[in-house]
Amino acid sequence: MLTEVGRVVALEADSLWVETIRKSTCGSCAAQKGCGHGLLNRLYDGRRGLIRVLPGEIALDTCRVHDEVRISIPEEVILRGSIIAYIMPLVCMLAGAVLAVQGFSGNEDVLAAVGALGGLLLGFGLLRWHALRHHSDAGFQPVLIEILRPLGEPVSLT
């Protein structure tokens, strides 16, 4: 289970928006400089990100804007989401290219390119449909697990 601390910036009827600070994990990675992800992290490290979070078992009316909260998302959700986000458009693109070449006569290169573009657009559309369908599914969304410091509560410096 991956957890992150953030601050509530907005409340909706069925969810809340949490602002987190992006942190790089490249220092603990074995690949170190052999990965292109490190460059992106150096560019965006420290920027704030907004995440839509489901309330989970915590009543939404106990949260207020500016509350500090802990959110979580299981590792398998990230893995499943990554597979869907990367594989679905790719498979649709390849299927579109093959179906266009097999189904129509003409210049195969042009048919493959047009079919691949059509399949890629279909894949992105299916990805959008999947995201809308699982908009409130805790199996695909981060969940609030704890309110750390409610608004107005003093912070101890000792």
Domain 1-22+30-74+141-158, CATH among 3.10.20.600, 3.20.20.70, 2.40.50.140, 2.30.130.10? 2.40.50.140
Q: Note the maximum CA span of the chain.
A: 77
Q: Give residue limits of the domains in the chain.
A: 1-22+30-74+141-158, 75-138
pLDDT range class, residue 158, cuts 50, 70, 90 = very low
d(CA 8, CA 51): 10
The alpha carbons of the chain give a radius of gyration, in whole angstroms, of: 21
Per-residue pLDDT tens for 16-57? 999 987 665 555 566 655 665 555 555 555 567 788 898 888
Q: pTM, whole model, 2 decimals? A: 0.62
Per-residue pLDDT tens for 66-76? 889 999 888 88
In sequence order, the 6+-apart residues with CB closer than 8 A to the CB of 10 are 16, 17, 65
Which of 6-10, 76-80, 100-104 has the weakest average pLDDT?
A: 76-80
- List the structure tokens of 83: 């597979």
